[in-house]
Amino acid sequence: METLINLSNLLCCGCLEIYYKSYVHLNGKRYEIVKLLGEGSYSFVYLAQILEHMSSRRFSITTQVSFFDSVVHSYALKKVVCPAENLTLAYKYLQEIHNYKRFQCGYIVPCLDSQVIQEKNGNKTIWMVFPYYPLGSLQQVVDRHMLEGTFISESEAIRIMIGILKGVLRLHSPMSPIPNINTNGNTHNYIINSSDSQSNNGDITNDTTMDSTLLGDQDLLLFPEIGESTLLLESSLMELDTMLSDTPPTPVDPKTPYAHRDLTPSNILFASDGYPILSDLGSCIPANVSITTNSQLIKWKDWIAESCTLPYTAPEILNIRLNSHITTKSDIWSVGCIFYCILFGISPFEREEQLRGASITYALSTGHYSFPSQNRYSNDLLNVIKACLQIDPTARPSADTLFQQLETLSHTS
């Protein structure tokens, strides 16, 4: 009875809280799991923290006092459980890790650490560590405006669009210089409001501390060791390309353009200064693909079903067929859908489905959409969206052309 009473007292006063904490050890660091942020078929994303103690000393005339300051660093931990029989899944996520390493820049979320763990049952658990972005995603910002009955101004929308394109430009032209984030030395706090500012509590360190834009070039070249199990997988990494091609894989040239293939408002996060950053490079692969055999076509259809988000998928991918040639222009279509969503709170083809009752697949395939009759945006900005949503991929502008057009509009809006 005494034991039960003592246990009850401990539960009431919260003294047993420590026993319910979960920890993950990755490459010598211990992360405390705070909560689940999201989950998919095989993956889970957690908010995690590391408590760092920094020793310091204070002096007075008669005493010298040592004490510890504590700083909490917050991270997003992505956990992927790969069944033993599904090596393809392991290769996909290992490729994602390599993509973050390949495209290290301030416009794409950095992977700060990673580890592959070989489980006793044959499964592989892959962990990735990212900065935590408390301002959330573009989708969350759009949803908040819809709920509050507010809208994003044209000047703010253009700034967000320009930021998105900087990340896309890095993927499409890996070796080309990208303009600096802070135009004219200004930061962009255009999506931060009172509800946003409450996300930064006390001494919680958000993405500003770990943002790759604050690191020097040499720091960006550092990539943590990710264990012997990774080396076992790396020998077969290029099999991912083999699954999507009937020809033997060749080493990827650093200048090779890549395409994201799953650009959506949910995959665009906001840094602490309100600047957009691309995330989720799990579907990012070399951009130029030709479909020349039936077996390759079948594999690609399976890959598309697993990797692409329908309302933002280009028609040439949705209706892929023999002799199709896919390029970076599929991303431009997705960018056009995202731009439309920024302005009107919904993707153009989801809106068409709601208005007309036609299937979203049909609307996408035909490129049929419309703008609200009452809108507050200039024709020049709407024309940018129209240019992106051309059925013919060759008629769509490049990311660089779009960037230049929006830069021009930014000076007049």
Which active-site residues does the annotation give?
262
3-state secondary structure of 194: helix
404 DSSP 8-state letter = H
Place of tokens 């703008």: 371
Query: Rounded CA gap, 153 and 44, in Å?
Result: 34
Asked if 244 contacts 259 with a C-beta cutoff of 8 angstroms, the reply is no
Cα dihedral 283, 284, 290, 291, rounded to 10, equals: -10
Query: Rounded CA gap, 191 and 84, in Å?
Result: 43
265 DSSP 8-state letter = G
Nearest to 409 by CA among 379, 366, 389, 387: 379
Query: Which two structure tokens, joined as six digits, stand for 77?
Result: 């931990």
Nearest to 311 by CA among 258, 267, 374, 373: 267
3-state secondary structure of 386: helix
Q: What share of the chain is helix, strand, coil (3-state, %, to 5)?
A: 40, 20, 40
**First and final C-alpha spacing in the chain:** 73
Q: 63: Cβ–Cβ under 8 A, 6 or more apart, which residues?
A: none
Asked if 106 contacts 217 with a C-beta cutoff of 8 angstroms, the reply is no
Q: 284: Cβ–Cβ under 8 A, 6 or more apart, which residues?
A: 96, 99, 103, 171, 258, 259, 260, 261
The CB density around residue 377, as the number of other CB atoms within 10 Å, is: 20
Query: Which two structure tokens, joined as six digits, stand for 66?
Result: 């040592």
Strand 285-286 to strand 258-259: parallel, antiparallel, or no bridges (unpaired)? antiparallel
Asked if 133 contacts 271 with a C-beta cutoff of 8 angstroms, the reply is yes
3-state secondary structure of 205: strand
